[in-house]
Structure 1
Amino acid sequence: MLPPDFPSAPAARNRTTNPPVAPLTWPVAWHQPAFRVRLLLVLALLLALASQLPGFFAWVQARPGYHLPDPLLDWLPAHDVSEATFAVIYLGIALGVTTLLPRPGRLLRALWAYLLLHLLRCATLWLLPLEPPPGLVLLQDPLVDMFLYAAPTPITKDLFFSGHTATLLLLALAVPVGWRRWLLLAGTVAVGILVLIQHAHYTYDVLAAPLFVWLAWRGSRWVVRG
């Protein structure tokens, strides 16, 4: 069943008649066998996936792909905005993680959604080989380049869909309603615009990200409730 800090739709409608349920705390959550199993399993799966990503991205980079017509990028001059992009991304991640850590129910669902999001992205990258957009200015992300992209050349073909945009949007869904969610939504829009200015993604990559975030978020609810 869902953790107490994920009220169902009927429960949300009956807030006026039912007393509020206290948020799930770590001591309570950890004493639930189902919670421990789901948490340890998703952490193990994320580590296993991370170990396979360098080879996968090297394969993605090596194979030929297709160029897509993109009128917006044809009109938009390319500029290097790497510093602004990753400032927004890492500040957003810091805000999301610090918000979720004291909330084990939300954190568990966010981790499963993040795993599903990465699996969906691997599937779309496998199914849709693309060449980078014309005028690409290479994004400089030392953390990701060091730990995930083990290739002799920079990875520029991990395009559909935009993982940068999707990550912040997923965090926006995971945190409670309030100023943090609005701030993360604003960060999502900013990152989507910045990666287009960088010509690091096609417009389609950015516009498709919300759909896959929604699929991952819905799927995570099924896993947590199952």
Structure 2
Amino acid sequence: MQSKQAAWRFAWDIPAFRLKLVSGLLCMAAIIFYLHDFFQFIQGRNGLILHDSVLRAIPAIDVSPLIFLILYPVSGYLIWRIRKNSKLCITALWGYIFLCLGRMITISLIPLNPPVGLIHLSDPFSVIFYGDNLITKDLFFSGHTATIVLIGLCLEGKREKYIVFTAALVLGILLLVQHIHYTADVIAAPFFSYLFWYLGKTVAKI
């Protein structure tokens, strides 16, 4: 454990690491600052309603507590692992930056109206990204699913990867049960996650 903790001290002595960490945190702060205006813009525009046979076959049920029971413990576990691994921190940080930017691009290019029967996800932390407004059109691709898959890709142990990927599968199903996303949003998310994980890993290696 001592050597793992020391890795952070050694990493901080490397100028390239400090640059990647500080610039990443600044980029993340800028994204959070801009997201409120971005989501206001996409919420105000009109989009397409997809004909989703999977959602039509599932009655909409509020499963918000179950979604949070998966999302936040998994996110907390990543933070716990980061405290022992400086390289994991850079990979996850930049991977998530690319994820946020990627979602902004795809959401801008693919305007969608929310699925029929959508039940709003009551997230106490959504104010960080959405402000006080109800946002329902941030659809393609699923940010919740992509985030959990990204975490699984960043982690190194086979067992923890298996657990997190299983959690991502359950989370994706729950999002469909609550009609928060279209099926395409959830299915596409892991493919984008792999791309963003690869980019984040590349930044960590430079």
- TM-score range for the pair, normalised by the shorter chain length: over 0.9
Tell me the distance in 2 between the aligned counterparts of 1:180 and 1:214: 17
Q: Please list, as runs of the form range in 1=range in 2, the aligned pairs for 1:104-143 lying within 5 A after superposition.
A: 104-143=86-125
CA contact under 8 A between 1:66 and 1:131: conserved in structure 2? yes
Q: CA deviation at 1:91?
A: 0.9
Per-residue Cα deviation, 1:96-155 (whole angstroms, up to 9, x for no partner):
1111221001111110100001100000010001000011111110111x2221354x10
State the match for 2:23 in structure 1.
41
Structure 2 residues not aligned, in runs of 5+: none
Q: Does 1:159 align with 2:139?
A: yes
Q: Alignment length, in residue pairs?
A: 203
Q: CA deviation at 1:217?
A: 1.1
State the match for 1:174 in structure 2.
154
Tell me the distance in 1 between the aligned counterparts of 2:123 and 2:47: 23
State the match for 1:222 in structure 2.
202
Structure 1 residues not aligned, in runs of 5+: 1-21
Give the one of 177, 183, 195 matched to 2:175.
195
User: Which is richer in helix?
Assistant: 2
Give the one of 63, 71, 75 matched to 1:93.
75
Max Rg structure: 1
Task: Give the structure-1-normalised TM-score.
Answer: 0.86
Structure 2 letter corresponding to 1:92: V
Task: Work out the percentage of aligned pairs sharing the same amino acid.
Answer: 38
Q: CA deviation at 1:194?
A: 0.3
Structure 2 letter corresponding to 1:148: F
Give the one of 34, 39, 60 matched to 1:52.
34
Structure 2 letter corresponding to 1:33: P
Structure 2 letter corresponding to 1:155: I
Structure 2 letter corresponding to 1:142: P
Tell me the distance in 2 between the aligned counterparts of 1:225 and 1:84: 36
Q: CA deviation at 1:178?
A: 2.9
Q: Please list, as runs of the form range in 1=range in 2, the aligned pairs for 1:9-88 lying within 5 A after superposition.
A: 25-88=7-70
The root-mean-square deviation of aligned C-alpha atoms, in Å, is: 1.4
Q: CA deviation at 1:224?
A: 2.4
